[in-house]
Amino acid sequence: MSVRANTVNPLLRWPLATVSLGAAIAVLPIFLIGVPTDGHDTWFLIQNLHSFSSQFLGGELYPKWRFDGNNGWGAPTFYVYPPLAYYAGTLFVWIGKGWFGIDRAAAIAIGCSFILSAQTCFIWLRRHVSTTVAVGAALLYVVAPYHLAADLLIRDAYSELWTFPVYPLLLIAIEDREASPWRFVAQASVPLSLLFMTNMPSATISILVFSAFALARRGLTPRFVAMWTCTGLLAVALAAFYVLPALALKDLVNTDRLMNDPSWSNYRTWYLDSGEFIDRLPGLFRVIVAEIAVIAGLVGWTWLRHRGRLLSEASRWPVAMSIALVVGLYLATSLSRPLLLMMPALTHVQFPWRVFAPLTVFAVGLIASLAAESSRAHLPKAVLTVLVVAWIYPAFRIIRHTTFGLGPAQVADILRSPDDAMWVPRRWSDPLNETGQIVAVPPNEPRVVEGEATATMRREGTAIIVHTIGSSNAVIVVPQLFFPSWKATVDGRDVPVRACGGKGELAVAVPSGEMSVVLSHRRLPVEIVGLLLSIAGAVAAVGLWRYPAVTRPELRGTVNPIERVN
């Protein structure tokens, strides 16, 4: 009697390579052609990546002030907007220098975010299910309705796309039950801080969903509540170099447009049951409805399958994910209005349907859980097939109607177009266009508003150099918008900078004679405090990580509620 050799599918021999290849194929048009031309935020991505990368590669480690923002008047974009995703994009701008343009660098960065998403999702799921199921579910994570169809093809929401690789890392940290409380706080705070530094609105609403999962997964005990609270505090400390200045300085720009503008970004008008959402973004609404239908099916089947033993260890993982999904759906509807009154910070989320970004990872986890159970004949495979087809259909339906790739002329037009209205400092009172954007073009040289003098200027790195020759004391006005971070020196002596006129330009008093005025940005006190907090948070995280782990032997082997199928 011959025994057939136990062979391993070549695709499963190197599963990380398999999911990486599958993710790359799923977004192949992005790699080969470029970004979606009609994405809601494509112009925002190109403008900001161009400014950030050019200033970083010019020697500025953290480019907060965009010199070419607001049509050349300057913009405090990265004082308020998180920078992490743009560092990733800058890497590909640097790699492709001389080979391809800013649009292709952005496209490659987006494609790599999908590959990393598949890899981290696989690593998380492999802790619970077989390699085969984990590979399949990780690829479903890539083509999820909100991930591929909504965030990429419709919105081109660059920084939000980079949150998808982080969510599985946070889940891995939450589920590590062998870590001591100190180590848990350290390892969970790192991915949570990465969310803050990648996309603050998504991080804000994700905390509520992940809190529901963590408490359901680990138990609503005083000890774990304290651990989770300390995790959030340490995560804020790690990201304080960005978070603290962003919160302190947000009122200096037109954040009202981001949060309360009734024409677009009002949180209250974008609930799923809002008629305005259906009327204004029907394509996006259909994608989200498709995801809701799948989520409802997953949650319903999970609760039906585990009824009578919802609190058992074997059921805790899928049940905790289903609870997180229910909480997320609640946040996306007008039923959550009372919560908005208790937590005004939710208005900074801008769109309540952003919650579908973190919900995607839980939905994929439930699909993997049901797939693992179906291999033991507990779930009809036809039902699972229907759920999977409904899951991937929206993305493939939309991708057929999406145009990819920006030509050089389109990129040039984007770089010349007005900036987002929210980056207009509040001091600006001159006329704006109908959407609140600056359309006026700044002059090439400074002007003299008092005294007799001539002035010329040039930009050197992060500074603006103004050369003046005057027969009397004078006041020169430089065509950059005022912000508290500006400082000025005249022949090496510090002088005050003030805002001038309806535009709020930089005004500096200079004495008579030939003078050299240097305008640059200084660190504000709130930035220094934020940086010190981040350093202290990093030291604390390392200390907590290295603190002797006190493991609980009785919990060993209970990390995986579903028996692995090898």
pLDDT of 350: 78
pLDDT of 255: 64
pLDDT of 194: 96
Give me the percent of the chain exceeding a pLDDT of 70: 86
Q: How far apart are CA 140 and CA 164, in angstroms?
A: 13
**Higher per-residue confidence, 524 vs 385:** 524
**Higher per-residue confidence, 75 vs 548:** 75
How large is the average pLDDT for residues 281-286? 80
pLDDT of 557: 42
Q: What is the mean pLDDT of the chain?
A: 84
pTM: 0.89
Range name among 299-308, 359-368, 445-454 with the lowest pLDDT average = 299-308
pLDDT of 78: 92
3-state secondary structure of 157: coil
pLDDT of 430: 62
Other C-beta atoms lying within 10 Å of the C-beta of residue 7: 6
Q: Which two tokens stand for residue 523?
A: 């660190």
State the DSSP string of 169-212.
HHHHHHT-TTS-HHHHHHHHHHHHHHHHHH-HHHHHHHHHHHHH
The owner of tokens 């400390």 is 237
Q: Which two tokens stand for residue 500?
A: 């001038």
Q: CA 194, 158, 207 angle in degrees (round to 5)? A: 40
Q: Where are the alpha helices (DSSP H) in 75-151?
A: 77-80, 84-95, 102-125, 131-142
How large is the average pLDDT for residues 486-507? 86
Q: Phi then psi for 358, rounded to 5 degrees?
A: -70, -30
Range name among 17-31, 248-262, 316-330 with the lowest pLDDT average = 248-262
Q: How confident is the model at residue 564 (pLDDT cuts 50, 70, 90)?
A: very low
pLDDT of 171: 96
Whether residue 296 is predicted with pLDDT greater than 90 in this model: the reply is no
547 burial via Cβ count (<10 Å: 0-12, 13-18, 19+)? middle
Task: Judge whether 323 and 209 are in contact, CB under 8 Å.
Answer: no
Whether residue 86 is predicted with pLDDT greater than 80 in this model: the reply is yes
Q: How far apart are CA 485 and CA 14, in angstroms?
A: 51
pLDDT of 288: 86
Q: Which two tokens stand for residue 458?
A: 């040039």
pLDDT of 265: 60
pLDDT of 311: 62
Whether residue 275 is predicted with pLDDT greater than 90 in this model: the reply is no
pLDDT (tens digit per residue) in 111-150: 999 999 999 999 999 999 989 889 999 999 999 989 998 8
Helices (H) and strands (E) in the chain, counts: 23, 9
Q: Phi then psi for 499, rounded to 5 degrees?
A: -85, 145
Range name among 197-201, 212-216, 272-276, 299-303 with the lowest pLDDT average = 272-276
Other C-beta atoms lying within 10 Å of the C-beta of residue 54: 17
pLDDT of 179: 81
How large is the average pLDDT for residues 540-555? 67
Q: How far apart are CA 202 and CA 209, in angstroms?
A: 11
State the DSSP string of 135-148.
HHHHHHHHT-IIII
pLDDT (tens digit per residue) in 375-389: 554 456 666 777 777
225 burial via Cβ count (<10 Å: 0-12, 13-18, 19+)? middle
Whether residue 6 is predicted with pLDDT greater than 70 in this model: the reply is no
pLDDT of 558: 45
Range name among 203-207, 291-295, 392-396, 449-453 with the lowest pLDDT average = 392-396
pLDDT of 452: 86
